[in-house]
Chains A and B, each alone.
Chain A
Amino acid sequence: MTFRQAAIERNPAWVQLLGLCPLLAVSNSVVNALGLAFASTFVMAGSALIISLLRTLIPHDVRLPCFMMVIATFTTCAVMLLEAYTFDLYLSIALFVQIIVTNCMILGRLEAFAARQPPRAALADALGTSCGFAIALLVLGSVREIIGAGSLGAGLDSLFGPDAADWGIDFTDEGGGMLVALLPPGAFILAGLLLGLGRGIHEQRQARAHLRETEG
């Protein structure tokens, strides 16, 4: 798939419903969502590139162990890099970065695409898929942070250094919001609503395209 197809039209989270576990678990604030998005992109792009380069050397029978090994390697690298360079963020999302290895979105794209395509196409597909995942994470993360904590982008300094300390917006003076949005039930409710919204827009666009076709 091309970048656009992979990111929007076949968005891994909203259209294919892949990788929902880390999506729901980490999307309670923008900074956590961004951190997981970066880590997933790193793992997705890195393993797609390696698998695509090695695709002629990996026999069909042992492709899954090989894929898992490569994904696990990149996940471990991501954890080490996070702990070395963004320690605060590591403390809050390390657990979820480690389970990127089980994110079916990554294995799925490797198996369905990267293992059969040249490196450039595989990389485009991987970046598109991760971008789609990042969009889903960020949208959900923003909504949950606004409703749950009454802020947007708080604590971005743990990702971008001390300069970013006041990038965040605080909507309430004393902080706090509807706690449920930060907890797992809130994640499910909001994810469901956003999913419905996405579906609705998609169907409307399709109906309009269909109408244009029949009229023209």
Chain B
Amino acid sequence: MIKSLVSITGVALVCAALLAGVRYQTAPHIRANREAATWAVAFQLAGGPFPTNNVTLPLANLRIGGTRLDTVSTPGYGGSIEMLVALDRGSIGGVKVTRHEETPGLGDFIEGEWMNQFEQMQPMEVDTISGATITSLAIKRALQSHLRTALAETAPEGPPG
């Protein structure tokens, strides 16, 4: 009994050490890769590359020409969903999911064409996908509330500040 306990703890320690080592080695590369991927999406939404020297991720109210770019995060079904939203004159000009942990094959339609509908209609008008209600609703609600906040920020009769 004691021997089992000691040996299983020993194996766990070996595994933990290995994981920590690899993580330490790869973490900076992984972060750089993810940021590069997010910037690529941002360039796509803004219609072309822009200088990123003074901008940090996540984006908040970044103005590129007439477009406003934001990172919007919301809890989904499997974890946090992170998207980049481009606003053109108060409506959604483009939105892309940059990170998510939704169920593969079921909740990953948010990587695809379903997202394009938000460019044509109000978030809550887009059809929810059956079998992935939580995922769809999470995105619709997050976009809805993002739109509302953004509108309130730019509206002339809104509260000051």
Contacts and interface: CB of A to CB of B under 8 A. Distances in A.
B15 A73 contact: yes
Contacts of A95: 104
B38 to A, nearest CB: 12
Contacts of A77: 18-19, 22
Dominant SS among interface residues on chain B: helix
Interface string B112-138: 000000000000000000000000000
Given A54-B10, A80-B30, 9 more contacts: A57-B7, A58-B11, A62-B7, A66-B7, A69-B11, A74-B18, A80-B22, A83-B33, A87-B37
Contacts of B25: 84
Contacts of A84: 25-27, 29-30, 33
Interface of B: 3-4, 7-8, 10-12, 14-15, 18-19, 22-23, 25-27, 29-30, 33, 36-37, 104
A69 B30 CA distance: 24
Interface string A59-80: 1011001100110111011001
B92 to A, nearest CB: 25
Contacts of B23: 80
A59 B18 CA distance: 22
A62 B26 contact: no
A64 B18 CA distance: 19
A70 B10 CA distance: 11
Interface residues of A, number: 23
Contacts of A54: 10-11, 14
B158 to A, nearest CB: 40
Contacts of A72: 15
A50 B16 CA distance: 13
Contacts of A15: none
A61 B4 contact: yes
Contacts of B19: 73, 76-77
Contact of B30 (A50, A59, A66, A83): A83
Contact of B29 (A50, A65, A70, A85): A85
Interface in A72-116: 72-74, 76-77, 80-81, 83-85, 87, 95
A72 B19 CA distance: 10
A77 B14 CA distance: 13
Contacts of B4: 59, 61-62
Nearest to B5: A62
A65 B104 contact: no
Contacts of A87: 33, 36-37
28 contacts: A54-B11, A54-B14, A57-B7, A58-B7, A58-B11, A59-B3, A61-B4, A62-B4, A62-B7, A66-B11, A70-B15, A73-B18, A73-B19, A77-B18, A77-B19, A80-B22, A80-B23, A80-B26, A80-B30, A81-B22, A83-B26, A84-B25, A84-B33, A85-B26, A85-B29, A87-B33, A87-B36, A87-B37
A76 B18 CA distance: 10
A43 to B, nearest CB: 12
A44 to B, nearest CB: 16
A50 B14 contact: yes
A80 B20 CA distance: 11
A191 to B, nearest CB: 20
Nearest to A67: B11
Contacts of B36: 87
B17 to A, nearest CB: 10
Contact of B8 (A66, A81, A83): A66
